Amino acid sequence: MSGLTDRRAVTGTDLGAPQRPPFERWLGLLFVLFASALVPWTVYLAIELPRRAVSRHYDLAWVGFDIALGVVLSATAWLAIQRSRYLALAATAAATLLVVDAWFDVVTASAGRQEAMALVLAGLIELPLAALCVWWALHVQDVMASTVVFWRRRAASASSAVGGHVGEETAD
């Protein structure tokens, strides 16, 4: 008896069709719960939070956030240069942080010159760069595949120019 037949006899199931891990459904339902719980929490915050607040570590919060953003942008650059399979994850994280940065820059800016500067930076740098990161995350596999095709074609044309296949030794 083969191992497949043995397992069918023991489990009583058809093992031909792949089964999804059971945690996927529960994890999805758990996030529905989290998203649903966020609605009343957001309403509560909208009602209860003061319009103005003084923070003892306001500068530390922004410097720390900007350091994290710099690290994520640097990681995205490094992973792009390395053509890493993790590039989409880094680009998604970078896009998220850029949108959050733009949002909080604009909504926490003082009226006038500071607010105008925040809007200009958000509109000309942060949000366009976030959109580029989203595009990159969604298309990184296609871009990498076309790069591979390009280099394979180039190698093939180079090998045909010398009369053989790349990596093939000629006999004397």
Report the pLDDT value the prediction gives residue 147, as an integer from 0 to 100: 74
Domain count, the chain: 1
Contact, 122 vs 105, CB < 8 A?
yes
Does a structural domain hold residue 11?
Answer: no
pLDDT tier at 172, thresholds 50, 70, 90: very low
Does a structural domain hold residue 135?
Answer: yes
Q: pLDDT tens across 47-56, in order?
A: 998 888 888 9
- pLDDT surpassing 70 at residue 150: yes
Contact, 124 vs 132, CB < 8 A?
no
Does a structural domain hold residue 106?
Answer: yes
Report the pLDDT value the prediction gives residue 1, as an integer from 0 to 100: 47
Does a structural domain hold residue 154?
Answer: yes
What is the domain extent for residue 82? 26-158
Does a structural domain hold residue 20?
Answer: no
Does a structural domain hold residue 19?
Answer: no
Q: pLDDT tens across 97-136, in order?
A: 999 999 999 999 999 999 999 999 999 999 999 999 999 9
pTM (whole model) above 0.85: no
Does a structural domain hold residue 54?
Answer: yes
Q: pLDDT tens across 54-103, in order?
A: 889 999 999 999 999 999 999 999 999 998 989 999 999 999 999 999 99
Does a structural domain hold residue 12?
Answer: no
